[in-house]
Each structure stands twice: as C-alpha cells, then as structure tokens.
Amino acid sequence: MKKLIEKYFLPSEYVNRFSEISVEMLKNKNKKAVMIDLDNTLVAFDDSNANEEVLNWIKELKENEIEVLILSNGNRNRVERFAIPHDLNYIHSARKPLMKNFHLGLRMLNVLKREVVMVGDQLMTDVLGANRVGVDSILVLPIKDKDGYATFLNRRMERVVMKWMDNKELINWRENSGNV
C-alpha cells in the first residue's frame, strides 16, 4: 500500500504557490520546461485573466530558456481565453490523469521526460498523471479554497491520500503550508 501510494500520489516536491518555483530551482534540476495546470494553480478556478504575477513569472522562465505549456483539464473556451491573448502554449481538455496529453505536451515542448516538471494543485489529476508518465511533479496549494463542482470528488479522495501520507510522514504539507 505504501509503495503504491508513493508511486502514484507522491509529488516530487511541494510549494505554496507557483511563484515560489524559481529559475534557479528548475535549472538545478536540469529542467528545460514546465507543464502547468491552470485552474487554482495559476489563477483561481473562476478567474479567466492572466494577472501580472503570472505573466511575469512565465516571462522570467522563458527569458531563461525554460519553456512553459499550460496543461489544463479546462474546456477550450476557458483555456484559450487565458492563453491566446498572451501567446502561451496550451493544451485544453487534457483529461489528466490520462497520459495521452502529457505525451502530447512532451512532443510540443520537444523535451525528454526528465527535462520537464508538471506543476499543479491536484493529486488526482496533476500528480497522478505526471507519476504515471514518469515526469517529476510539484504540488502547489490551490489558489482558492472553494472549488468547481467537478473537482469535488477528487478533493475528497485527495484528502484521504494526503492524510495517509501525512501520517506516514511522507509529506509535511500542513506544517509547510500553514493554511490547509
């Protein structure tokens, strides 16, 4: 059981916010690209605008030759409204944790698995998908507590797994975040 949960649900790392992920941190791990979730990772699930913090973060990564791809389960409208005005690479309706669009993402970015990291706020989609494909992952806290209805079940399952990992001291999430 422990091995199985570690294999599928344990992120490589976890931070509070996307903005804590620095160029230096990524370079140290020899990463050339970031696949990043949209809803509740970059912006709140009900916010469709890329704010200055998000855009500056992406700009800094790109200036340092780290490519960024938005890998979102959100629908076309939602994701395109966010990505197109700022000329961001994206995959919408990704159906994470299915592996297909992780592989498509790797091809779009033209990188190897070990050269990319998946950043997201959900164990059941972002981390599980990355682990299945064999890509490193960074879990972030959801930007907004209140969530879309579609993620309700995922969140409940996630809490069970989180609590289990916390008990086994695999992850020190609550102490780290201070607001879960």
> What is the greatest pairwise CA distance in the chain?
45
* Smallest separation, CB 15 to Mg ion (Å): 15
* Minimum distance, C-beta of residue 28 to Mg ion, in the bound complex (Å): 25
Long-range contacts made by residues 160-169, C-beta under 8 angstroms, separation at least 24? 161/5, 161/9, 161/123, 162/123, 164/5, 165/5, 165/9, 165/10, 168/2
- Binding residues (CB under 5 A) for Mg ion: these are 37, 39-41, 121
CB of 40 to Mg ion, least distance (A): 4
Integer Cα distance of 105 and 59 in angstroms? 19
Q: Between 39 and 67, whose beta carbon lies closer to Mg ion? A: 39
Name the residue nearer to Mg ion (CB basis): 32 or 98.
98
Q: Which is nearer to Mg ion, 19 or 32 (CB)?
A: 19
Q: Which two tokens stand for residue 40?
A: 């509740």
The tokens of 82 are what?
């966010």
Which C-beta is closer to Mg ion: that of 37 or that of 158? Answer: 37
User: What are the structure tokens assigned to 170, written together?
Assistant: 């695999």
CB of 115 to Mg ion, least distance (A): 23
Distance CA 16, CA 141 (A): 5
